[in-house]
Amino acid sequence: MADNEEQLQSLDELAAEGDEMDLAAEAGFEEIEALRAERDDMKDKFMRALADAENMRKRADRDRREAENYGGSKLARDLLPVYDNMNRALQSVEESEAEANAAIVEGVQLTMRELLSVFKKHGIEPITPEVGEKFDPQRHEAMFEAPVPGTKAGEIIQVATTGFMLHDRLLRAAQVGVSSTPAS
């Protein structure tokens, strides 16, 4: 009987050990699940960080391009009155004065061509509407409206100043007079 008792005791011990092993295994599975959840969370954070880094790189690239293209817009805008004044000077020279002051007129013309060349080099293009063209509020600024016979409403009847585009942005609208005569 002592043998039976020892066998029962060793069976009880084995059962207890088995229960302990089951508890340990269950704790191990819980730990594995916790580690998997942590891994998935870290992977998600890593992927988000990669996406943020890529977005930041694209934004920096776009900002750099915009700075290259439009960074000088203030300087360009400040040079437009120089263009206007040189243009007025050339238009005000009468033929008799042009012959007498040929060197000065030629110098102003060369300076004007050089200014336009620098403008073109930096993406500044003139907006030069013609009389009779349709008024475009995206590129023109109406300085006045007047009824002019033989024109349709919305046609340009006079160009006061040239406008300018800086790449695809309006630097200064062309200032124009517009017909107010209703279409017939």
Q: What is the pTM of this model?
A: 0.67
Tokens standing for residue 152: 């349709």
Residue 27's pLDDT is 73
pLDDT digits (tens, 9 = 90+) for 70-89: 888 899 999 999 999 999 99
Residue 16's pLDDT is 75
Query: Where does the pLDDT of residue 4 fall: very low under 50, low under 70, confident under 90, or very high at 90 and above?
Result: low
Q: How far apart are CA 121 and CA 87, in angstroms?
A: 20
Residue 2's pLDDT is 55
| Between 21 and 3, residue with greater pLDDT | 21
Q: By C-alpha distance, which of 145, 135, 113, 107 is closest to 126?
A: 113
Residue 171's pLDDT is 94
Strand partners, 21: none
Strand boundaries in the chain, DSSP class E: 124-127, 140-146, 156-161, 163-166, 169-172, 174-179
pLDDT beyond 70 at 56: yes
Tell me the mean pLDDT in the region 140-160. Answer: 92
CATH topology of domain 71-179: Nucleotide Exchange Factor Grpe; Chain A, domain 2 (2.30.22)
Query: Where does the pLDDT of residue 182 fall: very low under 50, low under 70, confident under 90, or very high at 90 and above?
Result: low
pLDDT beyond 70 at 144: yes
Q: Which residue has the tokens 């293209």?
A: 69
Q: How many residues does the chain have?
A: 184
Residue 156's pLDDT is 94
Look at the alpha carbons of 18, 21, 26, 27 in this order and tell me if their dihedral is positive or negative.
positive
Tell me the mean pLDDT in the region 63-72. Answer: 88
